Amino acid sequence: MTGATQESPQTGTGPLLRPGNTNCGGCGMSIALNVLGRALEGRSIQMVVPACCAIVTVGSYPASAYGVPLVSSTFASAAAVGTGLARAARMNGDPTRVVCWAGDGGTYDIGMAAVSAAAERNEDLLYVCYDNEIYGNTGGQRSSATPPGARTTTTPHGKLQEKKDILAIMAAHRIPYVASLSLAHLDDATRKMQKALDLEGFRFLHLLTPCPTGWKSEPAEGIELVRQAVSSGLYPVYEVESDGRVVINVEPDMSDDTLARYFAAQGRFRKGQVVLERVRASIDASWKTLRLRASNGEDDDRDA
Amino acid sequence: MTVELLTANHASATAATLAGRANRNARGFGGGLYPITPQSESIEFLCKQDFDKGELVRVESEHSAMAVCMGMSLAGVRTFTASSANGLAYMIENVYAAAFYRLPIVMMAVNRTLGPPWNIWLDHGDTLMLRDTGWIQFYCEDNQEVFDSIVLAYRLGEDERLLLPVLVCQGAFVLSHTMMQTDIPSQDDVDAFLPDLRLPHQVTDRAIAVGSLDRPRETEVHRKQHAEAMNRTWAVYTEVQDAFEERFGRRPADPVVPYRMEDAEIALLSMGTTAATVRRAVDRAREQGVKVGALRIRMFRPFPEAILRQHLAPCTRVGVIDRDISLGLGGVLWSETRGTAAPSAVVQSYMAGLGGGDVRPEHVLSLLADLRSRDTAGEPAFVETGS
CB contact (8 A) between residue B213 and residue A60? yes
pLDDT of the residue at A2: 37
Nearest to A81 among B28, B67, B213 (CB): B67
Chain A residues with CB under 8 Å of B201 CB are 1-3, 5
Could you give the CA distance from residue B322 to residue B385 in angstroms, rounded to a whole number? 13
Q: Compute CA distances B319 → A184, B21, B101, B351, B380, whole Å.
A: 72, 44, 38, 10, 10
What is the 3 state secondary structure string of chain B?
A: CEEEEECHHHHHHHHHHHHHHCCCCCCCEEEEECCCCCCHHHHHHHHCCCCCCEEEEECCCHHHHHHHHHHHHHCCCEEEEEEEHHHHHHHHHHHHHHHHCCCCCEEEEEECCCCCCCCCCCCCHHHHCCCCCCCEEEECCCHHHHHHHHHHHHHHHCCCCCCCCEEEEEECCCCCCCCEEEEECCHHHHHHHCCCCCCCCCCCCCCCEECCECCHHHHHHHHHHHHHHHHHHHHHHHHHHHHHHHHHCCCCCCCEEEECCCCCCEEEEECCCHHHHHHHHHHHHHHCCCCEEEEEECEEECCCHHHHHHHHCCCCEEEEEECCCECCCECHHHHHHHHHCCCCCEEEEEEECHHHCCCCHHHHHHHHHHHHCCCCCCCCEEECCCC
CB contact (8 A) between residue A77 and residue B67? yes
Q: Does B3 touch chain A (CB under 8 A)?
A: no
Chain A residues with CB under 8 Å of B101 CB are 3-4
Q: What is the pLDDT of residues B250-264, one digit of tens each?
A: 999 999 999 999 999
What is the secondary structure of chain A as a DSSP string?
A: --SS----SPTTSS-SB-TT--PPTT-HHHHHHHHHHHHHTT--EEEEE-SSHHHHTT-BTT--SBSS-EEE--TT-HHHHHHHHHHHHHHHT---EEEEEEEHIIIIITTHHHHHHHHHTT-SEEEEEEE-SSBTTTTSB--TTSPTT--BTTBTT---SPPP-HHHHHHTT--SEEEEE-TT-HHHHHHHHHHHHHS-S-EEEEEE---HHHHT--GGGHHHHHHHHHHTTSS--EEEETTS-EEE-S-----HHHHHHHHHT-GGGTTS---HHHHHHHHHHHHHHHHHHHT-STT--TT-
Q: Which residue of A has its CA nearest to B59?
A: A117
Could you give the CA distance from residue A35 to residue B11 in angstroms, rounded to a whole number? 50
Nearest to A69 among B68, B208, B214 (CB): B208
Chain B residues with CB under 8 Å of A61 CB are 212-215, 218
Task: Kindly state the average pLDDT of the residues A156-176.
Answer: 96
Nearest to A8 among B74, B77, B208 (CB): B208
Residue B143: strand pairing partners: none
Q: Where are the domains of chain A?
A: 28-294
- Confidence class for position B200, pLDDT limits 50, 70, 90: very high
Give Cα B191 to chain centroid, integer Å: 23
Q: Does A112 touch chain B (CB under 8 A)?
A: no
Q: Give yes or no for residue A6 having a pLDDT over 80.
A: no
Q: Give yes or no for residue A302 having a pLDDT over 80.
A: no
CATH number for region B257-383:
3.40.50.920
Share of chain A above pLDDT 70, in %: 92
Polymer length in residues for chain B = 387
Chain A residues with CB under 8 Å of B60 CB are 113-114, 116-117
Q: Does B93 touch chain A (CB under 8 A)?
A: yes
Nearest to A59 among B210, B212, B225 (CB): B212
- Confidence class for position A1, pLDDT limits 50, 70, 90: very low
Could you give the CA distance from residue A232 to residue B187 in angstroms, rounded to a whole number? 65
pLDDT of the residue at A298: 47
> Would you call B222 exposed, middle or buried from its count of C-beta atoms within 10 A (0-12, 13-18, 19+)?
middle
Longest dimension (CA), chain A: 61
- Nearest partner of B337 among B294, B374, B378, B308, judged by Cα: B308
Q: Compute CA distances A66 → A37, A129, A174, B87, whole Å.
A: 10, 18, 32, 35
Task: Kindly state the average pLDDT of the residues A202-212.
Answer: 98
- Confidence class for position B90, pLDDT limits 50, 70, 90: very high
Q: In the sheet where B266-270 sits, what is the strand order?
A: B256-259, B292-297, B266-270, B317-322, B346-352, B381-383
* Residues of B (130-189) whose Cβ lies below 8 Å from A: 163
ipTM of this complex = 0.97
Q: Does B64 touch chain A (CB under 8 A)?
A: yes
- Confidence class for position A304, pLDDT limits 50, 70, 90: very low
Q: What is the pLDDT of residues A116-136, one digit of tens each?
A: 999 999 999 999 999 999 999
Nearest to B213 among A58, A96, A116 (CB): A58
Q: What is the pLDDT of residues A11-53, one digit of tens each?
A: 556 899 999 899 999 999 999 999 999 999 999 999 999 999 9
Q: Which residue of A has its CA nearest to B77?
A: A88
Could you give the CA distance from residue B29 to residue B78 in angstroms, rounded to a whole number? 5
Q: Does B216 touch chain A (CB under 8 A)?
A: no
pLDDT of the residue at A301: 47
Q: Give yes or no for residue A61 having a pLDDT over 90.
A: no
Give chain B's mean pLDDT: 97
Q: Give yes or no for residue B204 having a pLDDT over 50.
A: yes
- Confidence class for position A10, pLDDT limits 50, 70, 90: very low
Q: Which of A7, A48, A74, A124 to mutate to test the interface with B (most CBs of B within 10 A)?
A: A74
Task: Kindly state the average pLDDT of the residues B351-373.
Answer: 97
Chain A residues with CB under 8 Å of B200 CB are 1-2
Q: Give yes or no for residue B387 having a pLDDT over 80.
A: no
Domain A28-294 in this protein, CATH class: alpha beta
Q: How far is B8 from chain A (nearest CA, A)?
A: 27
CB contact (8 A) between residue A70 and residue B210? yes
CATH number for region B2-248:
3.40.50.970
Could you give the CA distance from residue B309 to residue B317 in angstroms, rounded to a whole number? 13
Q: Which of B61, B74, B198 to mutate to test the interface with A (most CBs of A within 10 A)?
A: B74
Q: Give yes or no for residue A299 having a pLDDT over 90.
A: no
Q: Give yes or no for residue B69 having a pLDDT over 80.
A: yes
pLDDT of the residue at A75: 98
Q: Give yes or no for residue B374 having a pLDDT over 60.
A: yes
pLDDT of the residue at A14: 80
> What are the residues whose beta carbons fall under 8 Å from the beta carbon of A224, sequence distance 6 or more?
A184
pTM: 0.96
pLDDT of the residue at A271: 78
pLDDT of the residue at A296: 66
Nearest to A69 among B61, B163, B205 (CB): B205
Q: Does B211 touch chain A (CB under 8 A)?
A: yes
Q: Which residue of B has its CA nearest to A116?
A: B60
Chain A residues with CB under 8 Å of B57 CB are 83-84, 87, 121
Q: Give yes or no for residue B386 having a pLDDT over 70.
A: yes
Q: Where are the domains of chain B?
A: 2-248, 257-383
Looking at per-residue pLDDT, the higher value among A300 and A226 belongs to A226
Lowest-confidence segment of A9-23, A71-85, B373-387 by average pLDDT = A9-23
Q: How far is B62 from chain A (nearest CA, A)?
A: 11
